[in-house]
Structure 1
């Protein structure tokens, strides 16, 4: 099993948030560190109807807290099943870009609720900004832990609010000047979706784009600013040119949003080497001039990410909402059964 990020019990550093009312209490893992945990204080919000009424009234405050803290976790409230999670996210605007052609092997469960990922349980999913390989991306992402794994499986987060500032200035200048170009690969058309994928590139393009028509894939790509390249074996590569640094629309802070430093997450590294040799355009990102970051440059960015990557023991029913630019997410490998569901929010 791939090495996991260790977890630690969440310390209860109390944070007063009077605008949320007297029926909740808040705490953080550490001052200045996301997320803000919000829990019921007493039984008043442990009934579904009252909890949903409270979330509707508290939405503006929750929005402000997600922005301020980078994310929130609602714990101990009556979110037991998918329908409860769906009712909660209905309070937030949906990301209207959809997930057609998305990287992760996932399917829709109901309405706006999707699976987190079908990537093999043995793989550690590195922290990332959701859809960092795309021009259009959700402003926020919500997670619901319907069933926590018996061992591992914690959702990792990384506070990247000051990542660009901590990067070597010369590297920042190089990346900003050259930009990036991503290549994402999809397998040939497949008749059935697998329950688990050892590699994200194995999923068929029809399963990822939710259509059997290559012309519709081309249309969707054009709509999203993507360049499709079809191959003789029926597989597909999608290219995208991106700015690796963005300005947060609310804080005005310069943030790094890219997969330039990342290597594909795989179950068997030796098979990955063989796969990359077979692919005409290996999955990943290069600078705009076609050059990859050096090993030292990738290691530098990954080291900075590791310094602010952490997790905590999750509980059934936990709901987390992250600011997708300020806080990245990932997943520890796990054993047993795990049911984490997600929704893309604006």
Structure 2
């Protein structure tokens, strides 16, 4: 089996055609790349009320999201987190809290956070937000308050196209077995289990994990006297969109595979904690290891489908979180991008490779 990145030649994936704006107030056009992601929405004249337009065009915005995966609202004069929330209210996003936290963020208001606080010199790989939980956001939005001086884009990846590129043998095994996320809390690396699960006691943690179809083990030791917790989440690797019924590569398999970090960092972590105690690890759903070449192949498929745009202050990016993965490029200078998520999705049934854990 050759794990080179397959071409999309001959596959029935076409660049989305532009949709008519249906109004002279805005212009709507796909971005100039093969996926047409994101669709760019701009006012055609000064003084367009973005909140009124969004409220009157919810159905059209939903159509755009299902077709392109994401839309970029630019040039509407939006300012600050209050305008951001007003636009999400106008679009009709039912906002939700950030759950099962894995990265540090600053909470700006009840449902609005800063994007992941992570050293600017390191990129963040593409991922679909919270693919490992039992209820994930159907939509996620980003708002640019301060545009970075150099780079700092939010790369986008259409995971319909990713699935089409994955070697069928590789995808087939994940279809059968699903994937497993193993997390270790209490080592001093990453968030505590109390912070991640928003609980205070072991009993509250166990109740949450039981509800979320997650297996757990309490381990001895831990940083600063804190209990160590290891969790196991078995999930489907391929899902169907609840509205479009399209198959999607929806998971964090490549994102949290140990090979996704630089070799020197991975070797240091393995030396300090051991392979079983890494903060994050991904396996096949039966608990067997995912070979390095498979993880590399998956990352190559994301790379082949990655598109970027340069942030401008006041930009609002709205994504269908199941259709599109997002990441962050490295950058220099100041950068402040806010995020919010909502429209909770729960799987209609247990999927292959996602058997409830006992």
TM-score by length of 1: 0.84
Q: Which residue of 2 is the match for residue 28 of structure 1?
A: 30
Residues of 1 paired with 2:60 and 2:228: CA distance? 46
Following superposition, the deviation at residue 35 of structure 1 comes to 0.7
Residue 159 and residue 14 in structure 1: after superposition, are their counterparts in 2 closer, same or farther (change >3 A)?
closer
In structure 2, the gaps of 5 or more residues are 1-15, 344-358
Q: Is the 8 A contact 1:39 1:76 kept in 2?
A: yes
| 1:213 aligned partner | 201
TM-fit CA distance, 1:246: 0.5
Counterpart CA distance in 1 for 2:162 and 2:81 is 34
Kept in 2: contact 1:130–1:324 (CA 8 A) = yes
- Determine if the alignment matches structure 1 residue 344 to structure 2 residue 341: yes
Distance of 1:247 and 1:339 partners within structure 2: 33
Q: Unpaired segments of 5 or more residues in structure 1?
A: 1-12, 190-200
**How many angstroms does 1:161 deviate by?**
1.3
User: How far apart in 2 are the matches of 1:131 and 1:68?
Assistant: 22
Aligned residue in 2 for 1:275: 269
Query: 1:52 and 1:165, CA in 2 relative to 1: closer, same or farther beyond 3 A?
Result: same
Higher mean Cα deviation, 122-131 or 284-293?
Answer: 284-293
- Please say if 1:90 is aligned against 2:78: no
Aligned mate of 2:311, from 310, 314, 321: 314
* Kept after mapping to 1: 8 A contact 2:139/2:341: yes
8 Å CA contact retained: 2:162, 2:305: no
| Distance in 1 separating the partners of 2:263 and 2:336 | 26
Question: Measured at CA, do residues 245 and 15 of structure 1 come closer, stay the same or move farther in structure 2, by a change above 3 Å?
Answer: closer
Answer yes or no: is 1:18 the counterpart of 2:21. Answer: yes
Q: What TM-score comes out, normalization by structure 2 length?
A: 0.81
C-alpha displacement of 1:225: 2.0
SS of the residue 2:37 aligns to: strand
Contact 2:259 2:295 in 1 (8 A): no
The separation in 2 between residues aligned to 1:109 and 1:309, in whole angstroms, is 29
1:327 pairs with 2:320:
no
Query: What do you get for the CA RMSD once the two structures are aligned?
Result: 2.3
Asked whether the 8 Å contact 2:141–2:340 carries over to 1, the reply is yes
How far apart, in 2, do the equivalents of 1:266 and 1:301 lie? 11
Distance in 2, Cα, partners of 1:208 & 1:38: 36
Question: Which piece of structure 1 moves more, 69-78 or 282-291?
Answer: 282-291
Pair 1:14–1:146, CA change in 2 (3 A): farther
Residue 166 of structure 2 is aligned to residue 167 of structure 1:
yes
Q: Distance in 1 between matches of 2:301 and 2:231?
A: 29
